[in-house]
Amino acid sequence: MGSRGYGPVIREERDGAFWRAVVDHPDVAHVKMGLPFDVEGLVAHEQVIPLASEHGGFIFCRLDGVGRVFELHTMFTPEGRGREVTAAAKEAFAWMFRAGARVITTYEVEDWASPPLSFGWRPVGGFGPTEFGNVRTWILTLEEWESSPAHRRLH
């Protein structure tokens, strides 16, 4: 069982069909922003750690040569939003930091959901224009995760 007795058990999921079903879901497809998206190739790549629960998951892309810095992409169908994504995120971050990650980054597109502050996430600067709209960068370090309310509730 996941955190607090409810929620998913995270697993490494390299089955492209699982991820394709999530990415192509009508309530998730907007994340592609009309661009071609080879999710099957992405989750098969050795520099990527795809962690899934029942209705979606997290794709961590290694950004450095030693596996300490990762970029996070989150994708869940509506059925997985709420308790599942919260419990799955706790498990996924615990997994990544146990595996040696020290910094995780992600992006917030303006007017979309932002990462939860209760996990230790903090914004880096404000929104700025990109080819995907106005975007803000967020960062989560091992130390911020370990001192966060979400981490404390794991134990």
How many structural domains is the chain composed of?
A: 1
CATH number of the domain to which 45 belongs: 3.40.630.30
pLDDT value of residue 1: 41
Beta-carbon contacts of 28 under 8 Å, excluding residues fewer than 6 positions away, are 22, 56, 75, 76, 77
Is 0.75 topped by the overall pTM? yes
Closest Cα partner for 57 from 45, 69, 47, 49?
A: 49
Q: Which of 46-55, 57-66, 127-136 has the lowest mean pLDDT?
A: 127-136
Q: Could you tell me the residue range of the domain that residue 103 belongs to?
A: 3-152
What value does the mean pLDDT take over residues 8-32? Answer: 87
The answer to whether the CB of 141 falls within 8 A of the CB of 102 is: yes
More confidently predicted of 26 and 70? 70
The answer to whether the CB of 53 falls within 8 A of the CB of 10 is: yes
What band does 32 get if pLDDT is binned at 50, 70 and 90? low
Pull the structure tokens for residue 24: 């192509």
